[in-house]
Amino acid sequence: MHYEGNIIRPPSEANSILLQVTVGCSRNKCTFCGAYKGERFKIKPDDIILADIEFAATHCRRQRRVFLCDGDALIVPHKRLVKILEAIRTRLPWVTRVGAYANAKALKMKTEDQLRQLNDLGLAILYLGLETGDDQTLKKINKGADAQTMIDMGRKAVRTGFKLSITVLLGIAGKTRSQIHARETGRVLSAIDPDYIGALSLMLIPGTALYEAHAAGRFPLLGPEDMLRELRTMIAATDLSKGLFHANHASNYLPIKARLPKDKQATLALIDQALNGDIALTPEWMRAL
């Protein structure tokens, strides 16, 4: 397989065939993200992508899923993405699911008919980084979309047949807007009603704008208890029809896996126990991105 730069994939795609179709991220401006710093975004040539599919046809016969790397593979022009998915279907017929990162810009660029065609060709799940539903924080972290756009594009993905996994980031609003961020994120998540939500806790990455702001004293970090209070408010404000809310990433202080609405009250009670000191939190040295 031919790889360039950092290869990033969701935790749930750990056992997938990692097929790199783009290098880096088409936006690459978010203040908290250092995943693709210094990398110039590009779409890889079709001949390299197709050669990697041929490699997988011989050497990856036990893997049932494909993940299209990197930052936002959905940004690939429609005809080229169709060609890639058709090749996966033809050459890797045992693959049951293809996944990719998406952003609001990529979802906006494609029509609903185009998205349905991609879904019919096997692109079954999209991973969308919301981070926050608070417009002021979205603007401050340079996300490139406001909350209503995130709602509209998330609904578009769900409406056109995709499973949708949304990532939110605890602590991203800092101390002064922590609870606003939590409530507004719950509101946006409820409006989209995705299949999966993954909550990560902010960990600063050297070289990013947010890291520099913290070093200069302009962005105080939340402590563990404030992170948990933020998570509690967010879950309380989130109403899903049948979605999974995970906060079991290695960055988090308290691992949580809940199906909403069924497990909401039990999850809030669990967080309250942790806030009361009855459950030990993950120590700092064990946290990781």
Give the Cα separation of 228 and 278 in Å (integer): 14
Contact 19, 52 (CB under 8 A): yes
Written as six digits, the tokens of 170 are: 């605890």
pTM for this structure? 0.95
**Helices 46-59, 78-91: inter-axial angle, 10-degree rounding:** 20
DSSP line for the chain? ----S-----GGGTTSEEEE-EES-SS---TT--TTTTPPPEEPPHHHHHHHHHHHHHH-TT--EEEEESTTGGGS-HHHHHHHHHHHHHH-TT--EEEEEE-HHHHHHS-HHHHHHHHHTTEEEEEEEEE-S-HHHHHHTT-SS-HHHHHHHHHHHHHTT-EEEEEEEETTTTTTTHHHHHHHHHHHHHHH--SEEEEEE----TTSHHHHHHHTTSSPPP-HHHHHHHHHHHHHT---SS-EEE--STT-SS--EEETTTTHHHHHHHHHHHHTTSSPPPPGGG---
- CA separation (Å) from 2 to 49, 65, 100, 102, 269? 8, 18, 18, 22, 48
Contact 244, 196 (CB under 8 A): yes
pLDDT of residue 15: 95
pLDDT of residue 250: 87
pLDDT of residue 39: 85
Contact 137, 130 (CB under 8 A): no
- CA separation (Å) from 175 to 162, 232, 247? 35, 15, 20
Give the Cα separation of 4 and 167 in Å (integer): 25
pLDDT of residue 92: 98
Sequence-ordered list of residues with C-beta below 8 angstroms from that of 130, at least 6 positions apart, any chain: 150, 154, 166, 167, 168, 185, 188, 189
**Domains of the chain, start order:** 11-275 (3.20.20.70)
Provide the β-strand partners of residue 137. none
Q: Along the 289 residues of the chain, how does pLDDT read in single tens digits?
A: 999 988 989 989 999 999 999 999 988 899 999 888 888 899 999 999 999 999 999 999 999 999 999 988 999 999 999 999 999 999 999 999 999 999 999 999 999 999 999 999 999 999 999 999 999 999 999 999 999 999 999 999 999 999 999 999 999 999 999 999 999 999 999 999 999 999 999 999 999 999 999 999 999 999 999 999 999 999 999 999 999 999 988 899 999 999 999 999 999 999 999 999 999 998 888 888 7
pLDDT of residue 87: 98
Which residue has tokens 């998540």? 189
pLDDT of residue 167: 97
pLDDT of residue 288: 86
pLDDT of residue 262: 96
pLDDT of residue 134: 98
